[in-house]
Each structure stands twice: as structure tokens, then as C-alpha cells.
């Protein structure tokens, strides 16, 4: 692939193939594609190149949607270099909520659709094959199986940065014509195909980076917040766009930036570890899974943008929102200081928080109860592995972190007996002794929340479940939420 820039006309020509041009198609006022007599793209002309060249990484993360010019090919994922379906040129739309679209011309889409269709069917060889008679295929030699895998997008942008991605659904496409009064697809029709897992930029194998920016969906940090971890001079920034949270497609977007205060290089593995811990803490506080929708990694000699499709974010049940939005900055400033501690690995806090978040997606109360019981099993074993009794280990854990629970359980045997009944007898409702699994579950959740807050050294307001003291006519207990202050005082 050759490139030639003309400063007199501010035009960049990209030669894809040395075959002569048979016809040209203007995609817009800045993009012209040359085709050979077989309809294969052989060259691209970019008008006003210097004025309208590809965006840099910082622009991609600050706007709602950005276009990146693309030139490359579609091929089978994990296939050989020569096993490609079609050459493509067009634009990729990068949306800040993680959605990705490849925009190509009508003629390219027709060629791509034909290639995808042929690739999805087996190929037979034989002299006596009658297409109208399926039985005639029994004696034919099958020389190719249908391909059911994914298709990769591989190429580069106008400035030469490498681009890779995957067609998220080979059957999904949307056509857009500038002449809506016509029902026919014109030569100016643009076709959009959905993409996923796109990367744009420097594919450095370096194990160090200067900073990583993560864009998170579904969390509003209320105001910009920064935390400095003095021991290692790490700075963690939570950036809220403007005076209101940036909401795109119903998703609230918050930027998480982690770096050294002096901008010196950091091991990427260390950054990844801290990011995963921060996301667990935020998910616990918000009562829902916090999703990473795209990231921007800055190396010493380049950068890398990685996107994920926001339209496929997991639709999971919510748990208890422990920290309300106005109190989130204070919670962040206190809890993030613990991400370096052995608390997450040796004391199994990371694993325990993962079990806790998994309980959000349980459709059965009994399964949710067992998941929360497993959280205490995980924490208590890591805290005091020498104790053999589950009750003794949990009591030791709660005593060590000064977690009060007299207002929740007169004895820990209350929830432990329900746990044992579920495991050994399939209990899932109201027991003979009057024990109620739903009510006990809410109190167990409160106990876990208090334990997590204590382990994270948090002091401030938080939310708990509370049972309404009302007469129950339909046999269903009513639970609400109440704001309390941790640590709990006699007042």
C-alpha cells in the first residue's frame, strides 16, 4: 500500500492495488474511491487532508461521536493472511457510549453481502449435481464446510494507524439514503455495519504505560474527584463531564484516569490490578455492575484506543445502592486508599466483592442467600483459617473489624440455620420456627454491607434495608431503605 500527499491541493492518495482505475465513486466531498473493472477498490483520495485528518486520541474521548477514515479488508477471524473476503474503504463511527459502526458505500456492501453469503454455505464438486434435487448432493464431494465464525476488520486510518475490529453481527446492516423520498437505493446510499472490540493506535508490546483512561457506564460521581495514594505517588481521577453527567443512549459516562503524579511510567499489570479493584468498589457502592465501555492507554511513544459495544451492556438486576450519589466523592476518597493493601488478595476482599455482585443476578431468594453466605465463608476463612467452626470464624471476622450486629441478629445462628436448611433441606420460605428467608436475607445483606464498609475504612452516610413495621395482610413483608451513618453509634 503506497501513499502520496500533494501539499498544493491538500490531497492524500492511498494506492491499495496497482491495477488501473476503471471508475470512481465520491463517498462525500472529502472521500473518493477508485475501483477496477471488477469492482475491487484500488485507491482512495482524501481531500482537505491536513484540515480534516484523523482525530487524535484525546478528541476521541471528549466528543459524543467521532469519525475515523478506514482502509483495509474483511477476513475470517484467525484465518491465514490470504483468506480475506473483501477490501473495504469508508469511515468508522466511534460513539462514546461504546457503539461502533462501519460506514461503507452501496457497491461495497453488495460485494461484502455476496461474499458473506457464499462463505456461509458448503461448497460441493461433482459432475452430476442437480441444484433442484437435494439427493444429488449425497454423491458429490464436499470441498468446503460453511464458515460460522466471526469476521475481522483489519486496516489503517488515513494517518497510518493500525485498526482492528470484529463484525458484531454479520447479518446486521442499515442503509441510509440522502434522498428519503425514493424507495430505491441510490448510488449515494450509505450502509452501516455494527462492529465490536475495535482497537485503534500503537500496538506496542511495552509492559509499561504513562496512564490509562477508563470510561465507565452507569456511574455518576457527582463531582470531579481526585485521590492521591502517597506511598507510591499514584493519582486516581474521576472526571464528570460538565455540570451534568454525560448521558448518551441512556448511559451515564464517567472517566477514570490512573497515573503517576509525575507522569513516570508504570507497569501495565499494576494499573490493571488497581482498575479492577476500583471497579469492584464502585459496583458495590452503586448496587449494580459498572461496565467498562472503552479505554485509552498512553504509552511513552504512542497510544491505543480500545472500544466495546455499549449496546450490549449486561442487563442485570440491581442490588442495594449502598452509597447515594452526593456521598460518593467522600466514599471514593476514603475507600480508594485501600486498593494497594493486601486486603484484596490475602484477605480475599476482591473475591468476596465478586460473589456479592453475583448475588444481584440471582432470580431465586435461596440462591442469593447462599451466595451471600459464601461471601462470609470467603472472608472468614481468609481472616482466621485455623478456626473450624463457620460461626466462630464469622464472629472473629466481625469482632476484628468492629462490626456491630446486635440490632440485626440476636445470634449469628439465625442466618446460619437458614443457610443450613437451604443446603440440607431445600428450605426457601417460612420455617416451622417462624424464620423467614426474605427477611433474614435483608438483614444478612445489611451485615455484609457493614463488614465491607469497615474493611474499606469508610466513615459517613450509607444505605441499609429496613423492614416496615406494618400489618401484613397478604403475607408479604415490606422492606424499604434507610440512610444511616457508619460507624454506627448509640445515637
Cα dist from 130 to 135, 137, 138, 284, 443, whole Å: 9, 8, 11, 63, 71
Task: Kindly state whether residues 351 and 436 are assigned to the same domain.
Answer: yes
Task: Kindly state whether residues 181 and 323 are assigned to the same domain.
Answer: no
9, part of any domain: no
159, part of any domain: yes
Expressed as residue numbers, the domain containing 475 is 341-491
40, part of any domain: no
Judge whether residue 473 has pLDDT over 60. no
Among 201, 223, 241, which residue terminates a domain?
201
pLDDT in tens, 216-253: 887 888 888 889 886 667 889 998 754 444 444 445 67
Among 167, 201, 235, which residue terminates a domain?
201
Q: Are 325 and 235 in contact (CB under 8 A)?
A: no
47, part of any domain: no
What's the domain count of the chain?
3
Task: Kindly state whether residues 245 and 357 are assigned to the same domain.
Answer: no
For residue 173, give the C-alpha cell: 446492516
Q: Which of 85, 92, 90 is nearest to 111 (CA)?
A: 85
pLDDT in tens, 188-211: 578 888 898 888 886 566 789 989
pLDDT in tens, 304-321: 888 876 554 544 557 899
Of 125 and 334, more confident: 334
pLDDT in tens, 341-366: 889 999 999 999 999 999 988 878 88
pLDDT in tens, 94-115: 877 778 889 998 888 888 888 8
Q: DSSP code of 319?
A: -
pLDDT on residue 245: 42
pLDDT in tens, 141-178: 777 788 888 899 999 988 888 899 998 876 656 655 55
Of 450 and 470, more confident: 450
Q: Are 46 and 31 in contact (CB under 8 A)?
A: yes
Judge whether residue 423 has pLDDT over 70. yes
pTM given for the model = 0.74
Among 338, 371, 399, which residue terminates a domain?
338
Cα dist from 411 to 318, 375, 420, 432, 443, whole Å: 29, 18, 15, 18, 12
Task: Kindly state whether residues 197 and 215 are assigned to the same domain.
Answer: no
368, part of any domain: yes
Task: Kindly state whether residues 128 and 248 are assigned to the same domain.
Answer: no
Judge whether residue 260 has pLDDT over 60. yes
Amino acid at each position: 500500500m503506497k501513499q502520496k500527499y500533494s501539499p498544493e491541493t491538500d490531497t492524500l492518495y492511498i494506492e491499495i492495488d496497482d491495477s488501473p482505475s476503471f471508475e470512481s465513486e465520491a463517498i462525500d466531498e472529502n472521500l473518493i474511491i477508485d475501483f477496477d473493472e471488477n469492482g475491487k477498490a484500488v485507491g482512495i483520495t482524501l481531500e482537505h487532508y491536513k484540515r480534516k485528518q484523523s482525530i487524535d486520541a484525546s478528541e476521541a474521548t471528549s466528543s459524543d461521536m467521532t469519525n475515523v477514515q478506514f482502509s483495509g479488508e474483511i477476513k475470517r477471524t484467525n484465518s491465514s493472511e490470504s483468506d480475506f473476503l473483501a477490501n473495504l474503504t469508508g469511515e468508522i463511527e466511534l460513539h462514546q457510549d461504546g457503539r461502533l459502526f462501519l460506514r461503507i458505500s452501496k457497491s461495497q456492501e453488495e460485494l461484502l453481502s455476496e461474499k458473506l453469503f457464499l462463505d456461509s454455505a458448503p461448497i460441493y464438486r461433482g459432475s452430476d449435481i442437480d441444484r433442484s434435487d437435494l439427493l444429488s448432493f449425497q454423491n458429490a464431494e464436499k470441498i468446503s464446510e460453511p464458515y460460522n465464525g466471526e469476521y475481522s476488520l483489519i486496516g489503517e486510518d488515513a494517518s497510518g494507524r493500525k485498526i482492528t475490529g470484529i463484525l458484531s453481527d454479520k447479518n446486521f446492516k442499515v442503509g441510509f439514503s440522502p434522498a428519503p423520498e425514493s424507495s430505491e437505493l441510490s448510488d449515494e446510499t450509505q450502509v452501516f455495519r455494527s462492529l465490536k472490540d475495535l482497537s485503534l493506535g500503537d500496538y506496542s508490546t511495552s509492559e509499561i504505560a504513562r496512564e490509562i483512561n477508563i470510561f465507565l457506564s452507569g456511574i455518576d460521581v457527582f463531582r470531579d474527584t481526585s485521590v492521591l495514594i502517597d506511598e507510591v505517588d499514584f493519582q486516581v481521577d474521576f472526571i464528570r463531564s460538565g455540570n451534568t453527567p454525560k448521558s448518551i443512549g441512556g448511559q451515564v459516562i464517567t472517566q477514570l484516569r490512573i497515573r503517576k503524579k509525575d507522569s513516570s511510567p508504570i507497569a501495565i499489570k499494576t494499573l490493571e490490578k488497581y482498575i479492577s479493584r476500583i471497579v469492584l468498589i464502585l459496583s458495590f457502592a452503586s448496587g449494580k455492575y459498572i461496565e467498562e465501555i472503552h479505554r485509552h492507554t498512553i504509552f511513552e511513544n504512542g497510544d491505543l484506543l480500545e472500544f466495546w459495544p455499549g449496546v450490549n451492556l449486561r442487563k442485570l438486576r440491581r442490588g442495594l445502592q449502598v452509597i447515594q450519589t452526593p456521598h460518593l466523592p467522600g466514599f471514593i476518597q476514603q475507600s480508594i486508599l485501600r486498593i494497594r493493601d493486601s486486603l484484596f488478595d490475602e484477605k480475599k476482599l476482591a473475591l468476596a466483592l465478586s460473589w456479592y455482585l453475583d448475588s444481584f443476578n440471582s432470580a431465586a431468594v435461596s440462591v442469593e442467600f447462599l451466595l451471600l453466605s459464601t461471601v462470609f465463608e470467603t472472608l472468614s476463612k481468609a481472616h482466621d483459617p485455623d478456626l473450624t467452626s463457620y460461626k466462630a470464624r464469622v464472629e472473629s471476622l466481625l469482632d476484628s473489624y468492629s462490626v456491630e450486629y446486635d440490632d440485626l441478629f440476636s445470634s449469628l445462628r439465625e442466618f446460619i440455620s437458614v443457610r443450613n436448611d437451604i443446603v440440607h433441606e431445600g428450605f426457601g420460605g417460612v420455617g416451622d420456627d417462624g424464620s423467614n428467608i426474605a427477611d433474614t436475607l435483608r438483614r444478612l445483606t445489611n451485615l455484609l454491607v457493614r463488614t465491607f464498609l469497615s474493611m474499606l475504612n469508610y466513615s459517613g452516610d450509607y444505605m441499609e434495608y429496613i423492614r416496615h413495621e406494618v400489618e401484613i395482610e397478604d403475607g408479604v413483608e415490606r422492606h424499604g431503605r434507610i440512610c444511616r451513618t457508619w460507624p454506627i453509634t448509640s445515637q
